Structure formats: structure tokens, C-alpha cells
Amino acid sequence: MATDLHRTVTVRGLTRSFDGRAVVDGLDLTLRAGQFTALLGHSGCGKSTLLRVLAGLDREISGTVLVPKRRAVAFQAPRLMPWKRVWRNVLLGLPGRPDRERAERALAEVGLGHRSGAWPKTLSGGEAQRASLARALVREPDLLLLDEPFGALDALTRIKAQRLVGELWRRRGCTVLLVTHDVDEALLLADRALVMRDGVIAYDTPVALDRPRDPADPGFAALRARLLSELGVHDAPDTLRDAPATAETPAPPVPQTV
């Protein structure tokens, strides 16, 4: 893997195999600097594998991958260390002496400054996810990778978390790749939506909708229908949250207004 000095992402001919089966198979992808991209697809299509490669967590690959040097990832599970205070969790993995002031600035940015000295077990699910996001932001990433970060949250907390991520992206201007099963989430947040299938990017569309976005808008509805069709879902609920994107197991709907 090579590291680009700029903020773009370039992937050419990326292949990652497990036990002889290519999960990512000759994939090509370019993400422009500052672009917010949502990546959709069935479970097992290779979305999270691609994200892990971009994060530098999986190097058993072939092909070319150019990514910004400064990158960070937030997963669905907050992965907080229960024996460390919240502010110390935010600094996990950073070199040098712990800088509480730096951690507290990142926590304040996600609305969690008042909980910096708390133990992780005292946090709500939404607070824990915000702490995980602060841990990513404290690295000042040029590339922010989000692997279904809202998947374990209840519907109302999920809406708040989506708003927060949108605000942080507009404020920071970093490149974002969001892996999600939720079509509405992709359209509410991203300015580009991708569908991954058979280890490659099978569909790529801009999301040229005015912000803030309204799911009742005809343009929003048309894009939703197109993405659901690309995912093989017909006459399905408006969201794929919490379930693989299949016609047999559609997920229950969640509130759509953000």
C-alpha cells in the first residue's frame, strides 16, 4: 500500500481474497478530496473489507491503494477500553504523552465535553458512539472512514448521530466514506452513493440534492428507488437498517425526518 500526500483516495485493481475466494475483486475507486461518499451493498459483498484496507488494517492485498496519510476509522461498536476514562480512550494509539486538553477539545466538538472524566460503562449508547467519533477526530484526519457507526443505536439517537456527522463533515471538510445498509441514511448524508456487488463497485451515482434533505422530496424518492433496485430490493421498506439488503429480509422502517 502506498500513501498519498494529498486528500484524495485512489484504488486500482484492488483484490483481497480469503481462503481462495476474492471478496474484493479488481476494484477501482477514486474519492475526491472533501467528498462524502456512502457505500451500500449486501452483507458479505466486501464493503467492510474495502474500508479496512483503506484504513491500513488489512494489507494482504494486491493492486494499488493511495490514501491520505492522516486517516481515522469509527466502527459500529465504540470499542472503548472500560478501564480508561473517556478522555484517555479518545487518545488511544496516539504517540507522546497523553494530552487531556486535546482530548477534551475533540469531545467538546461532539457534544461530550462534560463526560470527559467518566468511565465508559456509564455512557449511553449514543454517548459511547460520540466518544468513538471523538477518538477519530482527534487525529485530524483527511480521510474519515465510518463502518456502520449508527447501526446499534435506537432510531432517535441515530437521527441525532447522523446530524452530528453531517455537521462535522461540513465543518472539517475531510473526505468521508460511510459504509451503511440504510439507503435513506446514505441519501441524507452523502453527495455520492456507491453500490458494491461481487467485489466491485457496480453502481455509482451523485446525490445532487439540496441540503437539508427531505425524504418526501420527489428527487430523494427517485434516488431511493434506484438504489433499492440496484440492491435487488423491490417494493421494500424505505430503509435497509439492521438487516442485509435482500428482498427476503427487509429491515423495519425508522423515522425518516432529519
Secondary structure string (H, E, C) spanning 8-69: CEEEEEEEEEECCEEEEEEEEEEECCCCEEEEEECCCCCHHHHHHHHCCCCCCCEEEEEEEC
**Is the pTM here over 0.95, yes or no?**
no
Q: Report how far residue 91's alpha carbon sits from residue 149's, in angstroms, rounded to the nearest whole number.
A: 19
Give pLDDT tens digits for 13-40: 999 999 889 999 999 999 999 999 999 9
Confidence tier at 131 by pLDDT (50, 70, 90):
very high
pLDDT of residue 128: 94
**What are the DSSP calls for 88-157, one per residue?**
HHHTTT-SSS--HHHHHHHHHHTT-GGGTTS-GGGS-HHHHHHHHHHHHHTT--SEEEEESTTTTS-HHH
Q: Which domains does the chain have, with CATH numbers?
A: 2-70+141-230 (3.40.50.300), 86-134 (no CATH)
Confidence class for position 3, pLDDT limits 50, 70, 90 = low
> Which phi and psi (to 5°) does residue 71 adopt?
-145, 155
* Mean per-residue pLDDT, 158-176: 92
> In the predicted model, is pLDDT for residue 109 greater than 80?
yes
